[in-house]
Structure formats: C-alpha cells, structure tokens
Structure 1
Amino acid sequence: MLVPTEEFSSIVYAMSNTNQINGSSSEFATFGAIHLNNTNLEKSALFWTDIVGMKLKKSSGKTAEFGTETQTLVVVHETAKTHFQKGYSGLYHFAIHAPNEPEFARMLNRLIVHNYTFSPTDHTASKSLYLDDPDGINVEFTLETPERFKRVITEGGLKMEGTDGIIRSASERLDLNNIMKALKDKDVNNPISNDSYLGHLHLYVDNVKNSNVFYKQIGYIESNYLPQYMFADLGAGGNYTHRLAINSWHGMNRPLVPIESAGMKHFQINYNSKKKLNQALHNVSVHEEDNGYWVKDPTGNTLILKLA
C-alpha cells in the first residue's frame, strides 16, 4: 500500500491513539523554545503577536522572544537572507498545542478575524490548523482528539473510522463552525493560554534510520518506525507518543537548509531528571556551554540538552 506523504504523518499519529498530557510527570522531557532564522523581525513580531496571539516577552537588537505569560515558546533571529526553501533537510513544521477546545477555538477565531490564510484539517485523532509565517515556515495549531478515533482502513484507499462509526478521509476538511461553538473569549487581543505549549516537532532528515537511532540514544521511545514510508516518530514516555517525528519525504540524503535561508536555528529539550540527561549525554557527542549541552543529530539539526 502506498500512502501519500501529506496524509501519512496524520495516519501514524492516529494509529498511536494517544492522549495529550501537558507537563505529564511520566514524560522524561519537554521542549524548550524553538529558535528560528527569519528575514524580517518586524514582520515576524506581527505574526507571532497578532496572528498567533503570543506575547512579545523580550527584544534585543535583531532577536525577539515570544510566548505565553509564563514561558518562552519561540525565539526569532533576524539572520536569514532568503525565505524558507523547500527540498532541504531541517524543519518540516512545529506545533503549538491548545490545552482544550475553547483555546483551540480562540486560535481559529484569531486567524479568521485577521483574514489569515490557513489550512483546516480534521485527522479524526486530532484537529489541526496549518499556516505559514511570513517567511514560509510551517506552523501547526493542534487539538488532540484521540477519543474520536477507532481505526485506520486501507481497503479501497486510506480512510479513518471514528468511534461514531463514520468513515472519513485521512485529511478531512475541519468543520470550522463546530469548532467555533466552543469559543468563549472573542477578544483577539487577549494572549494565548498559559497552558499552550510547544507539543511536537516534525523534521526533514537525510536518513530516517540514522536519525531514529540518534533520538532513541538521547532517550526518546520509538512509536512508529516505518522505513518503507521514510517515516518514524517517537515519544517521551507519556501517553502522547508523537513528540518527535522525522521523515525523508523531501528526498534521501538531502543537505541541511542553507544558513542564509529562513528555517530552524536550533531547538531545546529539557530533561526532568539529571539521570535521564546524563544517560543521553553518555550516548552522543556534545559541546558544553553555559546554557546547556549542544548536540547535532545525524542530519545536522542542532539541539540543546539541559536539565529543566
């Protein structure tokens, strides 16, 4: 069976049939802020504040931090010369998770009010809004709904059966009117909930097998390893097992995105125990600095490991 790559991550995601738990004590790590290279800090600031609803937490020179009242989620650096370029390894997308239906509705309402282009998608096991920042970096807003998912059907095409008995496509158009029924706070000037968080990253890698091994070495737990589809995803020990996803849908052995292009600069993993951090450090080559241990995955993506 051949599965279209634009649908496949959603299917694997559904197959795990998991629940989202923010800050679950059973998870050994969570994400810190993701750092992005962008071409224009002013345009980026408008996007992250007006369109996404984050607060501008700090700005200095050509760098700005955005997030909730209590945590930084995204750091933007005005260092890129060109917009996001497709066909390279690096970031595929990253997701900001809404903690509940009303907050997901607020994310949607903000996009509608600002007439911002987005793609509403119902994967049965999750509801998603996909949009691009001003440089073409893909961002996902996610609400997990595993209670709606029953099984994947592959006969006669790829479909999803819900617990309501209805069979849908893998990427059904999301019912926006139904989402808006949960909207309580219509003031788009109010920031996103403090319980919103960076819930998962999806990376383009040059070799799925090598990257899958690497992320297991730093503690992540394999959820789906499907080399025939050039895809794998891994969890952090909790019920939600789609913390890190990797694919080579852009092509095997593709180089990392050029440094002058918009994209991911690096991301951070915060370990909840010194034991788990030390186990990760023992398995990979690191460069220690004041803000943590710097590591490169086999593709060349840069990440910082540190104690939460």
Structure 2
Amino acid sequence: MASIHPAAEIGAVRLKVSDLQRSLAFYREVIGFKFIKEMGNRAELSASEGRPLLELEEIPGAAALDRRRTAGLYHFAILLPSRKSLGLSVRNLIRHGVYFGQGDHWVSEAIYLNDPDGNGIELYADRPRDQWEYDARGGVKMGTDPVDVEGLLELAGDDPWSGMPSGTKVGHIHLHVSDLAASRVFYCDVLGFDLMANLGDSALFVSAGGYHHHVGLNIWAGVGAPPAPESAPGLRNYEVLVPDRAALDEVRSRLAGADVPFVETREGSQLEALDPSRNAVVVRVRS
C-alpha cells in the first residue's frame, strides 16, 4: 500500500463563525494572525509570510453547537517555530485573560483554548525529532503530562510579543469522527497517511513523512455521532498540501479506486472529498 508523499502537510483551515468582526479581532489580537483581506462574509489571515493559514466565513444566524455530540472539528493546531514563541503566546493569552488548558505530549508541548464560537485551537511547539521515542512497531510514543508553563514564561522573558512569528504553520488537525475503523480506511488506505499512534480504541493519529501526526481522529463525541449542522459554526474544510501533480495524481487514483466521490477544481490541481464522517478535505498541489 502506497503512502502519501512524505512532504505532505496541512495547509489552510476554513472555519464557519457567527460574527466575522468578533472573530477577526480574536484571531488577530489573541492568537496573533495577520490580516490579509476581507471578501464579503469571508476573511483570510496568515502568519508573517502572507500565505493564508486561516479563512473565516460568517454564517448568518449560526446556531450554537454541542461539540460533544457531533462529528467535526475537535481542534486545529498552530505549530510555532520555537519553545520561546510558545511562551510569548502563553503570556499574551494571560494578558487577555483567556482560559487555556495544556498538555505535554512528549513530542510537543501544547496549549488549548477555544475561539468565541467554541472552535478548538491548539498552540504548540515540537520537541526535536531526535528526542521522540518509538514503540516496537515504529509508532511514535505520545502521552499527556503537565506543561512547564512557568518555564515557558521564563523563556519568553520581557521580549515583546508581535503575533505569529515567521515559520508558523498549521501543524495538524484533530477531528471528531463517527466511525474510527472507517476513518482509518479513508485516511490511511485511501489518502495514504501512515498510522503513527493510537489511543486504545478511541483515537488514531496519522501522518506523512514520519511526523507525529498531521491528522488526529477520535470518537469522543460518540460512535455514530452525526455531522454538525451546516448552519453551525465549525469546520468548513481543511487542506492537505502535496508537493507536485504526481503526488496529487496518486491520491486521485486511490480515491477513484475506492469509489470515494471527489470534485476536481483549479484545472485539476485540487481535489475535494468528504471523509466517512462528512468532514471536508481539500488535497491540492502546494503553490
């Protein structure tokens, strides 16, 4: 079974929100994204390089959502380039009075919070790969211990926070799904991600190129959880970037071979499909 190209990674995430201006203020002032442009009910945000990392779409009259009972976004994860940049972000959260959770996952240190609509966000910094440990099957070892928050703040010191630094990207996305086995088939056998770790029979972590995970999948909202309503805030879609048309052609071939419906756009350089829980995935050639 062929794997997806090892250079594949997560691209932009597109979220539905109930109030565009409120969300823009949050993602700029609290998270640190840079504004690119606004287009009617949508807006694009980036880190310092200007490549869109987040698109917000206002849904008029968006209904509140109980995310513990539907498939969809658990969180999207913003990978910061250093531990110090994570410390600076933590200090900014504290200054804004934002509640956050945290977890040291051995391969990374992570901070968790929600946007004004309850969309989950992770801010994290990886440990060097030569510090990651692996099990006998080659899977990466991940757990959850307390983060040394005081150490992060000490590392940040009094340096100014100026938002997302150069090198910031979306490191991974984590989804509630309705069927873990069907999700494994879609993400591993069809898209071609490699299984890197599992958490009993409740969560899987898959990646390209040996990364700890590009996609997390869990059934914590319940087996058979229905898709979130279209009118609710949450995930519109997310991108998987591949380096060239040959890598995209391999994904296209596997989708067709598995009879998974997909739509081609951008003159065939982009594919969009739904996973078994109806989470939308856009696979495209990196610009």
Provide the residue aligned with 2:278 in structure 1.
300
Provide the residue aligned with 2:56 in structure 1.
76
The letter for the 2-side match of 1:307 is V
Which of 262, 265, 268 is the matching residue for 1:286? 262
> How far 1:115 moved relative to its partner?
1.6
Q: Residues 21-170 of structure 1: matches in 2 within 5 Å?
A: 27-70=6-49, 71-79=51-59, 81-86=62-67, 87-145=69-127
Tell me the distance in 2 between the aligned counterparts of 1:40 and 1:267.
20
> How far 1:230 moved relative to its partner?
2.3
Provide the residue aligned with 2:155 in structure 1.
182
Q: TM-score normalised to the size of structure 1? A: 0.80
Change beyond 3 A, Cα 1:287–1:142 = same
Deviations 1:36-80 (A, max 9, x none): 000001110111100001101111211111111222111000016
Structure 2 unaligned segments of length 5 or more: list them. Answer: 136-140, 256-260
Asked if 2 retains the 8 angstrom alpha-carbon contact of 1:268 and 1:304, the reply is yes
The letter for the 2-side match of 1:266 is N
Change beyond 3 A, Cα 1:90–1:118 = same
Tell me the distance in 1 between the aligned counterparts of 2:32 and 2:283.
28
Asked if 2 retains the 8 angstrom alpha-carbon contact of 1:121 and 1:127, the reply is yes
Q: Is 1:274 matched up with 2:236?
A: no
> How far 1:280 moved relative to its partner?
0.7
Change beyond 3 A, Cα 1:229–1:59 = same
Provide the residue aligned with 1:229 in structure 2.
201
Aligned residue for 2:155, secondary structure, equals coil
> How far 1:121 moved relative to its partner?
2.7
Tell me the distance in 1 between the aligned counterparts of 2:158 and 2:282.
36
Provide the residue aligned with 1:257 in structure 2.
228
Tell me the distance in 1 between the aligned counterparts of 2:241 and 2:39.
24
Provide the residue aligned with 2:258 in structure 1.
none
Identical residues among aligned pairs (%): 25
Change beyond 3 A, Cα 1:193–1:185 = farther
Q: TM-score normalised to the size of structure 2? A: 0.85
Tell me the distance in 2 between the aligned counterparts of 1:90 and 1:260.
13
* CA-atom RMSD in angstroms: 2.3
Tell me the distance in 1 between the aligned counterparts of 2:254 and 2:132.
37
Q: Is 1:201 matched up with 2:177?
A: no
Tell me the distance in 1 between the aligned counterparts of 2:6 and 2:252.
18
How many residue pairs align between the two structures? 265
Tell me the distance in 1 between the aligned counterparts of 2:198 and 2:244.
27
